[in-house]
Amino acid sequence: MFPAPFEYYAPKTLQEALSLLAQHGENAKVLAGGQSLVPLMKLRLSTPAVIIDLNGIAELRYIREEGNYVAIGAMARHYDLETSDLLKRLCPILPECASHIGDVQVRNRGTIGGSLAHADPAADYPAAVLACEGEIKVVDTDGKERVIKATDFFVDLFTTALQPNEIITEIRIPAFAPKTGSAYLKMEQLASGYALCGVAAIVSLDDSVIQDVRVGITGVAPKAYRATGVENALKGQAFNPKTIEQASELAADGINPLEDIHADAEYRAHLAKVLTKRALLKAIERAKV
């Protein structure tokens, strides 16, 4: 099916894109990688009158170190993250997460900013960005910037704290502390590659004691979430496999799991527990290196 007619603009600067968004308001949709919006338009589930294509804005595509953070431009492709030596050194969970997204074609077109803005409940990045305690920088049509913590960004099913007059410009990720390991594991729906459950685990060790632990889970609930029950059960505890197993049983506590033709609620909750355990064990092994 072909999309409904629309006006198309390809700005070359962020300021030009913001001016177009201010001009067209709610009639406009911002296009990043197009891996979600274009299929929706072809099915006529989304019929924007105006498309503002960000692909020509070179200033939004970068990965660089800034103090204790890694700054990632919103238009950085999944492939950029997957192959970034800087990220592999300072925040290796993001390249690992990016490698699980879709297929080669999707990873070469899709962007981190577009993925976060779309907030698909089965997307991979939200779990990792939550576990990393990342921040999302946005700018509105008046030029005002604000920074949204990842824990505040994902609101509900396909819903974020991003306002209609705002564009994501950057994702800020704290660099890993020494003796920190991470892992991203998922069970995917084979035809699409989307997560039935994906778990991002980050663990910092002090000798054999778990000094800090963060777990982000996607694919299970209407939005990605932090498994705070797991985290609270492990912080300050000496590492042993039994402790990890017991804490992982809390991975779906307080969550009403999604249910669809691909997996029922009970299975998704089970996956959350199993993958949390495996991701934590792998992260701990990597933290020891």
Largest CA distance in the chain: 61
**Interior CA angle at 120 toward 49 and 263, to 5°?**
130
Class of domain 7-53: alpha beta
58-174 matches 7-53 in CATH topology: no
**What's the confidence (pLDDT) of residue 116?**
98
Enumerate long-range contacts of 236-241, CB under 8 Å, 24 or more apart: 236/209, 236/210, 236/211, 237/209, 237/210, 238/208, 238/209, 238/210, 239/205, 239/208, 239/209, 239/210, 239/284, 241/281
**pLDDT recorded at residue 190:** 86
Q: Which residue positions in the chain have pLDDT lower than 50?
A: none
Hey, how many other C-beta atoms are within 10 angstroms of the C-beta on 12?
Answer: 11
Fold of 58-174: 3.30.465
224-264 pLDDT, tens digit per residue, is: 999 999 999 999 999 999 999 999 999 999 999 999 999 99
Superfamily of chain region 182-287: CO dehydrogenase flavoprotein, C-terminal domain (3.30.390.50)
C-alpha closest to that of 136 among 106, 167, 109, 164: 167
The domain locations on the chain are 7-53, 58-174, 182-287
User: What integer pLDDT is reported at residue 260 of this predicted model?
Assistant: 94
Which among 289, 241, 248, 254 has a CA at the least distance from the CA of 271? Answer: 248
Give which of 286, 255, 281 is closest to 268, Cα–Cα: 255
Buried b (16+ CB within 10 A) or exposed e, 93-125: bbbbbbebbbeeebbebbbbbbbbbbbbbbbbb
What the block records as the tokens of 177 is 């502390």
pLDDT of residue 191: 85
